[in-house]
Amino acid sequence: MHIDDDRLVHGALQSPTSHEASHLRDCADCRRAARDLSHARETLKMAGPMTEMPPDRVWDQILEQTVGRSDAKDRPAGPKDDDAHLATVTSLGASPGKPESKSAVTLGWLAAAAGVGAVVALAGSALLNQQPEESLVATAELDVLSGAAEPAQAEILMIDGQQVLRIDQASVSDLEGQYLEVWLLNPDSSGLITLGLLDGESGDFALPENLSTAEFSVVDVSVEAYDGDPSHSGDSVWRGPLKSS
């Protein structure tokens, strides 16, 4: 007698009884289903939560890749549509022309449902959380001027049409009563523009649309005091010129 379906899904995967553990050793069907469900569970964890229903085009792609068609009736429109969607999934559990026992069909359905569920979660999550287009515009090696042990890195990226200065590996040991501020300077330091405070070892700073990085081509990170003075302190920790990529 096979392990009860509910136990296989909820209990036997986590903490099987001695009888269930013995049965899993002897029953290839239950062992295969348990393995597939365990894999699906871990895959779902990797996918993360889906906080909104994907648009129809996402479901069309998922259905096309998992069940071979993208009929509108198979799209999950909400909680009431689950039965229709699962009916499509059950067809994956049996092989045409080959009779199977009720238990084998049930276990096959469980594995198929879990597998398709994982694909849906991963595909939906990936399509809903696509990363913005990013291209590298320039880089800078920021040499240590004072107060830091290692150089920092800077790069300018074009992200969905917006230029962004990214600072990374900016580590200082003691900033008690002070903070780091990021600047762009022109090469002779006669002009400068503040981009904002650096909170932590890395940060992204959106550049003004009309800012010329050819003119303001030097990245500077300074230590500033909480004294209400917006001007540069003159105490730079890192500095380096931008080089086009």
Domain residue ranges of the chain, discontinuous segments joined by +: 5-128, 134-244
State yes or no: pLDDT of 42 exceeds 80.
no
Pairing of strands 192-198, 134-144: unpaired
The pLDDT assigned to 88 comes to 38
The amino acid that residue 223 corresponds to is V
Tokens of 181: 């501020």
The pLDDT assigned to 17 comes to 75
Least confident of 113-117, 129-133, 136-140, 235-239: 113-117
The pLDDT assigned to 67 comes to 58
Least confident of 62-71, 87-96, 187-196: 87-96
Contact criterion met (CB below 8 Å) for 148 and 172: yes
Mean pLDDT computed over 97-120: 47
Tell me how far apart the alpha carbons of residues 125 and 83 are, in angstroms, rounded to a whole number. 22
Mean pLDDT computed over 124-143: 77
- Identify the residue with better confidence: 72 or 149: 149
222: left (phi over 0), alpha (psi -120 to 50) or beta: beta
Annotate 25-46 with DSSP letters as a single string. HH-HHHHHHHHHHHHHHHHHHH
By the 10 Å C-beta count (0-12 exposed, 13-18 middle, 19+ buried), 34 is classed as buried
Other Cβ atoms less than 10 A from the Cβ of 241: the count is 15
State yes or no: pLDDT of 41 exceeds 50.
yes
Instruction: Phi first, then psi: give them for residue 18, nearest 5 degrees.
Output: -60, -40
Digit-coded pLDDT (tens) for 103-113: 444 444 444 54
Q: At what angle do helices 102-128 and 82-90 cross, to 10 degrees?
A: 120
Instruction: Phi first, then psi: give them for residue 181, nearest 5 degrees.
Output: -130, 140
Tell me how far apart the alpha carbons of residues 14 and 6 are, in angstroms, rounded to a whole number. 12
- Identify the residue with better confidence: 34 or 74: 34
Tokens of 179: 């903070």
State yes or no: pLDDT of 58 exceeds 80.
no
Digit-coded pLDDT (tens) for 146-183: 988 899 999 999 999 999 999 999 888 888 889 999 99
State yes or no: pLDDT of 209 exceeds 70.
yes
Tell me how far apart the alpha carbons of residues 68 and 2 are, in angstroms, rounded to a whole number. 31
Class of domain 134-244: mainly beta
Mean pLDDT computed over 201-225: 95
For tokens 């001007």, the residue is: 231
Closest CA to 179 of 191, 196, 166, 164: 196
* Max Cα-Cα span within the chain: 84
The pLDDT assigned to 153 comes to 96
Quote the radius of gyration of the chain (alpha carbons, Å): 29
- Identify the residue with better confidence: 46 or 228: 228
Of the chain, the percentage scoring pLDDT greater than 70 comes to: 55
pTM: 0.49
Least confident of 51-60, 127-136, 193-202: 51-60
Q: CA 113: distance to chain centroid?
A: 24
State yes or no: pLDDT of 193 exceeds 90.
yes
The pLDDT assigned to 196 comes to 95
